[in-house]
Chains A and B, each alone.
Chain A
Amino acid sequence: MQLTNRSKVASVKTLNWVEQLYLPAIIKGMIITFSHIFRKKATVRYPEQKRPIANIYRGLHVLKRDEEGRENCTACGLCAVACPAEAITMEAAERKKGEEHLYREEKYAAMYEINMLRCIFCGLCEEACPKDAIYLTDRILPSNYARNRFIYGKDLLVEGTTPETRIDISGRKKDYEMNV
């Protein structure tokens, strides 16, 4: 049964005596090989040298703080329900008196975990977040030997309060114009 008409009969040509020497073909191949020495390198020396990353690159997540250093996340669970890989789990807690400088809203995430092995870096959590709390950044997820090290808790996700430890996401911020 013929399924398509794209099939071709391969030619089985016999070699002539120059071709049977193989030497011209070998020299031709070597010229190509050595010419690559003088070409521009396709690779970079990674940890020291880094390639530029696009603004829309979706790498490791960050949980943002506001200008006053309070955590934006209020554990509303929208990222977890939007997550197609079910990588996010969280537990909420109520903000107590005297913790107003730590958390922006009266509810906050006491536990927030992303399983980086499940995560597919699709960015839907970022789209779903109503509080500007979670962003994907241009950082690359480091490798590790132990599987449980890939479950990132709040200690690894929340950005620092000092200007040096803040993580810049200004390139990713989208300004949605709603219902105008």
Chain B
Amino acid sequence: MAKVTIDGIEIDVPDGTTILQAARMIGPEVAPPTMCYHSKLKTSGGYCRTCLVEVTKGSEKDPRPMPKLVASCRTNVMDGMVVTNGLSEKVQDARAGVVEFLLLNHPLDCPICDQAGECHLQDLSYEHGHYNTRTDFERRTFEKIDIGDTIQLHMTRCILCYRCVKVAEQITDGRVHGVINRGDASEISTYIKEAIDNDFSGNMIDVCPVGALTDKTFRFKSRVWFTKPVDAHRDCDKCSGKVVLWYKGDDVLRVTGRKDQWGEVEEFICNTCRFDKKKTSDWTIEGVREISRHSVISANKYKKLVKPKRLTINDIKALPE
């Protein structure tokens, strides 16, 4: 066991836990934001640098602070470690810089993008980003590619987090896409158009933190905050069958996996569940999904009406003399 202090909150965690996992155990107030780390994918993380934290005390044995900010998703905790995240000005400054770098080539097309409303980069830039860019050069642009019959790739929006590559590597058998070229020129590609036809390829859409990989069957159908998420399940021979149905009126507009509070899919679902079962009769409905009231998806959605107590004249206290 190791005792670690994050933003002044102490917690005992088992050895081998990363700073990020320890912070998430405490709660969302101290957990650093992540773009490339995904708890269900091995070796994910370490690319995007949004989870940088400051270690002000290395450990009980070696109390020197770490010289540079560290990526919390890739750094294990030590006994007696003291970490600052939200309280550190250095971290906030660095994170704003990271966001600026992520947005260098990211287009400003949130009004068009289907991911808007559940996009991690949108949240991040809302918190740390600038409204203006400081660069003069053109953003790099790509043509839209259909990398499967149901998945569309907008390479322009990609931030190269490698999550979809890890999904293809770890969930499906045989990866047929990856990052080609190097450095500034690197891009996600399949080499051959429409090559991805794996049963679990649709999970790339769910893990994509931005709108680079989107569901073609949902394209421009609705904005996410006009749809109502409902938990449902079905007996599926390929996957767990636990999904979220996104309703608009009586129509299921799209089916996604269930995401936890960090926006990461709990259980991966198969393409049959995701793309082919879009009727209410295919599913056993469990109930309306709980949405954080800070999310835009909760807009215009109401729970049971609780009427305020009607005051009678006897409830009103007499004014003091």
Interface residues of A, Cβ cutoff 8 Å to B = 1, 3, 74-78, 80-81, 86, 91-94, 105-107, 130-131, 178-180
Partner among A1, A3, A77, A105 whose Cβ is within 8 Å of the Cβ of B226 = A77
Interface string of B287-321 (1 = CB under 8 A from A): 00000000010011000000000000000001100
Q: What is the bound-complex CA distance between A106 and B112, given in angstroms? A: 8
Decide if B88 is an interface residue (CB 8 Å cutoff): no
Nearest residue in B to A95 (C-beta to C-beta)?
A: B220
Decide if B219 is an interface residue (CB 8 Å cutoff): yes
9 more contacts with CB within 8 A, not counting A77-B223, A94-B220, are A1-B318, A75-B223, A77-B225, A81-B225, A81-B300, A86-B300, A91-B222, A92-B223, A131-B111
Known: A74-B111, A86-B300, A106-B112. A179 touches B130 (CB 8 A): yes
Decide if B73 is an interface residue (CB 8 Å cutoff): no
19 pairs of residues in contact across A and B, judged by CB atoms under 8 Å: A3-B319, A74-B111, A75-B220, A76-B110, A77-B223, A77-B225, A77-B226, A78-B111, A81-B223, A81-B300, A92-B222, A92-B223, A93-B220, A105-B111, A105-B112, A178-B131, A178-B132, A179-B130, A179-B131
Interface string of B104-132 (1 = CB under 8 A from A): 00000111100010000000000000111
Nearest residue in B to A110 (C-beta to C-beta)?
A: B220
- In the complex, are the beta carbons of B132 and A179 less than 8 A apart? yes
- In the complex, are the beta carbons of A81 and B299 less than 8 A apart? yes
Q: What is the bound-complex CA distance between A86 and B116, given in angstroms? A: 20
Q: What is the bound-complex CA distance between A101 and B131, given in angstroms? A: 29
Residues from chain A with a CB closer than 8 A to the CB of B279 are none
Partner among A1, A76, A94, A131 whose Cβ is within 8 Å of the Cβ of B219 = A94
- In the complex, are the beta carbons of A130 and B222 less than 8 A apart? no
Q: What is the bound-complex CA distance between A76 and B116, given in angstroms? A: 9
Residues from chain A with a CB closer than 8 A to the CB of B140 are none
Interface size (B, Cβ < 8 Å)?
Answer: 20
Nearest residue in B to A108 (C-beta to C-beta)?
A: B220
Q: What is the bound-complex CA distance between A112 and B151, given in angstroms? A: 28
Residues from chain A with a CB closer than 8 A to the CB of B225 are 77, 81
Decide if B221 is an interface residue (CB 8 Å cutoff): yes
Q: What is the bound-complex CA distance between A86 and B226, given in angstroms? A: 11
Nearest residue in A to B144 (C-beta to C-beta)?
A: A106
Nearest residue in B to A73 (C-beta to C-beta)?
A: B111
Nearest residue in B to A179 (C-beta to C-beta)?
A: B131
Q: What is the bound-complex CA distance between A1 and B316, given in angstroms? A: 14
Nearest residue in B to A106 (C-beta to C-beta)?
A: B112
Residues from chain B with a CB closer than 8 A to the CB of A107 are 111-112, 220
A92 to chain B, nearest CB (A): 5
Residues from chain B with a CB closer than 8 A to the CB of A78 are 111
Q: What is the bound-complex CA distance between A76 and B222, given in angstroms? A: 9
Nearest residue in A to B225 (C-beta to C-beta)?
A: A81
Q: What is the bound-complex CA distance between A92 and B116, given in angstroms? A: 14
Q: What is the bound-complex CA distance between A81 and B296, given in angstroms? A: 8
- In the complex, are the beta carbons of B296 and A76 less than 8 A apart? no
Q: What is the bound-complex CA distance between A3 and B319, given in angstroms? A: 7
Of B112, B300, B319, chain A has the most CB atoms within 10 Å of the CB of: B112
- In the complex, are the beta carbons of A74 and B131 less than 8 A apart? no
What 7 A-B pairs are tightest by C-beta distance, nearest first?
Answer: A76-B111, A178-B131, A77-B223, A179-B131, A92-B220, A107-B112, A81-B299
A93 to chain B, nearest CB (A): 6
Residues from chain B with a CB closer than 8 A to the CB of A93 are 220
Of A92, A131, A178, chain B has the most CB atoms within 10 Å of the CB of: A92
Q: What is the bound-complex CA distance between A87 and B270, given in angstroms? A: 38
Residues from chain A with a CB closer than 8 A to the CB of B319 are 3
Partner among A86, A91, A130, A178 whose Cβ is within 8 Å of the Cβ of B111 = A130
Known: A81-B300, A178-B132, A179-B130. A92 touches B111 (CB 8 A): no
A175 to chain B, nearest CB (A): 14
Q: What is the bound-complex CA distance between A74 and B220, given in angstroms? A: 10
B150 to chain A, nearest CB (A): 16
Q: What is the bound-complex CA distance between A106 and B152, given in angstroms? A: 15
Q: What is the bound-complex CA distance between A140 and B316, given in angstroms? A: 43
Residues from chain B with a CB closer than 8 A to the CB of A80 are 226
Nearest residue in B to A84 (C-beta to C-beta)?
A: B300
Q: What is the bound-complex CA distance between A75 and B300, given in angstroms? A: 17
A65 to chain B, nearest CB (A): 17
Partner among A76, A94, A131 whose Cβ is within 8 Å of the Cβ of B223 = A76
Q: What is the bound-complex CA distance between A81 and B130, given in angstroms? A: 23
Known: A92-B221, A92-B222, A178-B132. A76 touches B318 (CB 8 A): no
Nearest residue in A to B130 (C-beta to C-beta)?
A: A179
